[in-house]
Structure 1
C-alpha cells in the first residue's frame, strides 16, 4: 500500500456563516444530533489531549457524557495519566471526528473538576460491572497480568454483593470550558470549510472563517 495515494474526496455538505448558529454550543448540538441521526457509531467518542507542566503531550479517546453552555464533561479515574496531567496543568483540547458526515469539531480551553454530587449522579447510571471496575482498577498502574485485575474485580463484586456501589474517592469528572470551538466540514479539492468561534473577554462569541 502506498500511503501517498490513500485519500478520499469530500463532497457531502457545506458550512457557511448564514447557515450556522451564532452560538457554537447550539451549532455543536445541531451537528451532534445529525451525527446520531446518521448512525455514527459512538458519536460521543472524542480525542482528549492533555499536557504535563513541562510540555509532554498525551492523547486518548474518551466518551463525552454531557455538554451545555458550561462545557464538555467526561469522567475518569483521577489517578490516571490524564487525571494527573489535568491536576497539574488544567487545560485540554478535544476533537470529535464524524467521518460519515465528513466533519470534525475541535474544542480548546481550561478544565474544571466536576463536583462530587454530579459525579456520583452519573456514576449511579453506569452498569454494575463498570462500577465494580472503577473500584478494581488503578488506571495506568502496572499489572502482573490480567488475572490480577479479574481477581480484584471478583473481590469487589463479593464486597458489594447485593448492596450499593458507591462512588470511589479516586473517581470523578472534568469539564472542558471552551475558549475556542472550531467546526470543520470536508469539501471538494481540499477546499474545506472551517468556522472558528472564539470567546471574547465579554463572554460573547466571535466567529471567523479560516483557510483550509
Structure 2
C-alpha cells in the first residue's frame, strides 16, 4: 500500500450517523501521510492571479500540522508573485481511486528556515537539482544543451538552493468530500471561528 493511502477501516466515515470529530485535523491526519513518509502527496495549489483570474498548479505537500499546510517552490515563480500580492490560497488533495477529496482554504505566510531545511532534506536528489536549475533560461535552451547543463551541474552549497522558498497555508476552512456507492456524495465542512471550529454537512 502506498504511503498516501490509509486503509478504509482506519478512516472516519463521512456518511456515518452521529457527530464527526470536533477537530478537523483529526481527519486530516487520517487522510494524509505523516511528514516522515517520503511519498509526498501531489496537491493542486490555487491562487489569485495578478490579472484577477484564478491560477492553479500541482505542488508537493511538504508537511502539515495544526499550524498549516506547507509547500515549497522557486522564489521567481508566478505563484510567489501572486501570493505576495494576495496571500490567500486553496489546496485540493484528490484520491481518485478512493473517492475522497480534501479542500483547504486560508491565508498563506512564509515558512521558517528550520522547516524549509527539513523539507529540503526530504526531497529526492532529482527535486533538489530541479530547484537549482529549473529556470526560464534553461527552458529556452535546446534539448542537447539542457541535458548537458543538467548532467554537469554541481550544487554550490550543501543546503537549500537560494531560489527555494517555503510557505504555509493556515486554514480557515477544511472541507472533506466522500462518494458513496448507494447514495449521494457528501461534504463535511469545517470553518474556523474565533477560538474553535464549526462543522456542517453539505451536499456533495
Is 1:150 paired with 2:147? yes
Larger of the two Rg values belongs to structure: 1
- Do the aligned partners of residues 123 and 29 (structure 1) sit closer, same or farther apart at CA in structure 2, a change above 3 Å counting? same
- Do the aligned partners of residues 144 and 67 (structure 1) sit closer, same or farther apart at CA in structure 2, a change above 3 Å counting? same
- Do the aligned partners of residues 14 and 24 (structure 1) sit closer, same or farther apart at CA in structure 2, a change above 3 Å counting? closer
1:196 maps to what in 2? Answer: 189
CA distance in 2: counterparts of 1:141 and 1:86, whole angstroms? 24
Cα RMSD of the aligned pairs, angstroms, is 2.4
- Do the aligned partners of residues 128 and 32 (structure 1) sit closer, same or farther apart at CA in structure 2, a change above 3 Å counting? closer
- Do the aligned partners of residues 14 and 109 (structure 1) sit closer, same or farther apart at CA in structure 2, a change above 3 Å counting? closer
2:138–2:146 Cα contact (<8 Å) kept: no
Is 1:171 paired with 2:170? no
1:37 maps to what in 2? Answer: none
2:20 maps to what in 1? Answer: 20
- Do the aligned partners of residues 51 and 119 (structure 1) sit closer, same or farther apart at CA in structure 2, a change above 3 Å counting? same
CA distance in 2: counterparts of 1:211 and 1:128, whole angstroms? 43
The answer for unaligned runs of 5 or more in structure 2 is 1-12, 34-38
Per the TM alignment, residue 210 of structure 1 is displaced from its structure 2 partner at its CA by 1.2
Per the TM alignment, residue 29 of structure 1 is displaced from its structure 2 partner at its CA by 0.9
CA distance in 1: counterparts of 2:110 and 2:138, whole angstroms? 22
Give the TM-score, by structure 1 length. 0.77
Aligned counterpart for 2:91 among listed residues 85, 89, 94: 94
The answer for unaligned runs of 5 or more in structure 1 is 1-12, 34-41
Aligned counterpart for 2:71 among listed residues 67, 70, 74: 74
CA distance in 2: counterparts of 1:78 and 1:140, whole angstroms? 15
